Structure 1
């Protein structure tokens, strides 16, 4: 299985390239699996203070809320304004690949990248 954190890393880099104003913003990589899967990962990826999190689907809402609470308590990063959020949304919406041929090409290219054998999921 491809390492989803490596895939998310690539996606975050793509987002940063489309949003240069927010290049230094805090990005959190959150991967969720159904309970049918069993994963064996570094325990640090299960700790809420990490910005790379792996959770089961039944924990997803709780983890998101806990992470949001922690970020609010830290107050390390300036909060985004409504204008920032709208601008980010519009920019990302425009960057979505809608052409099915280009999407297939992207998936093919991504298929050859980001294997990490230290990551294990059993389903």
Structure 2
């Protein structure tokens, strides 16, 4: 998607090891832990990678209360698209990324917030 230094950055990776390497690269380029997210179609896998990489989780701060509650009742694919759009991506981009996640890839997103 964009280059490092842009407001929102996303990269699809083949596995958790690559995702952790990408998180470390993003930290080295100035992104903070609180602004880096790891997303996977498998919730357990996502949690393991996020814990190992020490990244933030998409939650109330990003989705808002309504979005977080709605995700409790959505399919995993719908919830993932909602999370991705809450981080600044269009619905079309979110749909593309969700299909790639369906295929087993891992998505790393970094967002810079105004200081």
Note whether the superposition's TM-score is higher than 0.5. Answer: no
TM-score, normalised by the number of residues in structure 2: 0.30
> Over alpha carbons, which structure has the higher Rg?
1
